[in-house]
Amino acid sequence: MPELTIQTERKTQLVNVTAQLEELVASLEGFLVTLFVPHTTAGVLVQAAGDGATKVAGDIEAALEALVDEARPWAHLHEGDGNPWSHIRTALTASSVSIPLADGRLKLGPRQAVFLAEFDGPRERTVHVTVSR
């Protein structure tokens, strides 16, 4: 199964993986690309990027940090991991996303990009990629 490996740099970070994904699927035949993140503290999403949207990823990072307060008395905090907020932030995103594929190209909108959403970094993350025929 094809996959992407992404090294994140911050605790909360959206990493644009569109170029790597496009390169990976360019030689694959099919009509639908599905990405799956096999992690409980990371997700995947499609969001705006590029000209006119260069600050969107940072705004999403800040909003998710503000929405899910790390100082809250989380019950999971005492179970060992010390990262309950990362599970909540992940629950607000998705563990998979599907994107149409035509002629080896992702059929994203003109400002859409695919992001790995990291909530417990920095870490190395894996994104599984499948193409349906």
Is pLDDT of 81 > 80? no
Mean pLDDT over the full length of the chain: 95
Sole residue written with tokens 């993350």:
125
Tokens encoding 21 = 């994904």
Ordered domains of the chain (ranges, CATH): 3-132 (2.60.120.460)
Residue-wise pLDDT tens digits, 2-47: 999 999 999 999 999 999 999 999 988 899 999 999 999 999 999 9
- The average pLDDT across 50-74 equals 95
Compute the distance between CA of residue 109 and CA of residue 100 in angstroms, rounded to an integer: 11
The CA distance from 94 to 44, in Å, is 6
CA distances from 58 to 40, 48, 53, 107 (A): 21, 11, 10, 24
Supply the DSSP symbol for 111.
T
More confident residue, 104 or 46: 46
Name the token pair of 1.
């199964």
- Whether the pLDDT of residue 72 is over 80: the answer is yes
CB atoms inside a 10 Å sphere around CB 2: 14
How far apart CA 19 and CA 87 sit, in angstroms, is 27
Q: Is the pTM above the cut of 0.85?
A: yes
Q: Give the percent of the chain with pLDDT over 90.
A: 86
